[in-house]
Amino acid sequence: MGQTPNKKPGKNISLKRPFISLPRYEKASMKPDNSPAKMRRTLYLATQNEHKVEEFQAMLGYAWDVRSASQLGLETGQKISWDETGDSFVANSRIKALALRHITPCAVLADDSGLVVDALNGAPGIYSSRYAGSPEGTPRAAADAANTEKLLNDLQEVPDSKRTARFVCCLVFIDERGEETVVEGYCEGRIAKSPSGHHGFGYDPVFFVPSHNRTMAELSEAEKNRLSHRAEAVAKLTRHWRPLA
């Protein structure tokens, strides 16, 4: 599959779209129960990756009970799947968010993230999670290692000054009313010559953050949650949230 160039982003986007028509739940009551036991809102995250669930839970805090797509499947008895056929981070995020929203009236959040490397014309980009072409069903840790190895091989002849890169995170949030909000967050850095650190996942061990003089995998969870592309996107998202009426 050919790579879709991912140019360095310009201005951050933050927009709201009209209510999404969801006939199955159009008559459902969205009035919150404000009793102490019901103050938390359930949020289904369009991922099977429990690392992401933990990361988003830490960033969103107690107000949200963040659950995975796998958990939604267990709770509803439905098979949940999607095909990431979009040509951008936004398109893929929306595909995943709608896959969940058609099953539950609860709030849903989809994250499409990737690594954009300037020397590779934006690759891996939207193909970041399957950059090395690992077969479906490959354990996450093994696929991450294969992707990282391919990235380092592709950059073998590229000097440090040309290894600039950024993590991009696009979030599509659909609330209990069906209103959609889209935001993007970025984290600038460069690709190290070899992996370092044991925290995080994906490309974290080779993503060097100049401001901290460490790779993302060498940062503590608290540090990462303050400066990561997801942290920036979540901060933007929460500024656009409004309480249920």
Helix, coil or strand: residue 16: strand
Measured between alpha carbons, how far is 68 from 105 in angstroms, rounded to an integer? 15
pTM of structure: 0.76
> Tokens 């098979």 map to which residue?
79
**Sign of the alpha-carbon torsion through 172, 136, 168, 4:** negative
108: CB partners within 8 A, 6+ apart: 43, 44, 45, 46, 97, 100, 101, 173, 174
Active-site residue flag, 160: no
Q: Is the pLDDT of residue 15 over 80?
A: no
Q: Which of 57, 64, 104 minimizes the C-alpha distance to 80?
A: 104
SS3 152: helix
Q: Which residue has the tokens 């599959």?
A: 1
Name beta bridge partners: 180: 17, 174
Q: 33, 65, 83, 112: which one is catalytic?
A: 112
Q: State the pLDDT at residue 226.
A: 86
Percent share of the chain, pLDDT over 70: 83
Q: What is the pLDDT of residues 81-117, one digit of tens each?
A: 999 899 999 999 999 999 999 999 999 999 999 999 9
CA-based torsion, 187, 192, 197, 202: positive or negative: positive
pLDDT above 90 as % of the chain: 67
Q: State the Cα–Cα distance between residues 60 and 80, nearest whole angstrom.
A: 24
Q: Domains of the chain (ranges plus CATH)?
A: 37-240 (3.90.950.10)
pLDDT reported for residue 244: 66
Q: What pLDDT is stored for residue 224 in this prediction?
A: 85
Q: Which of 29-38, 47-56, 143-152 has the highest mean pLDDT?
A: 143-152
Residue 21's pLDDT band, with cuts at 50, 70 and 90, is very low
Pairing of β 41-45 and β 64-68: parallel
How confident is the model over 111-142, as pLDDT tens digits? 999 999 999 999 999 999 999 999 988 998 99
Pick from 85, 229, 206, 199: nearest CA to 147: 206
Residues contacting residue 70 through CB under 8 Å, at least 6 positions apart: 48, 80
The amino acid at residue 168 is V
Residue type at 218?
A: E
Contact of 167 with 186, CB cutoff 8 Å:
yes
Residue 3 vs residue 205, higher pLDDT:
205
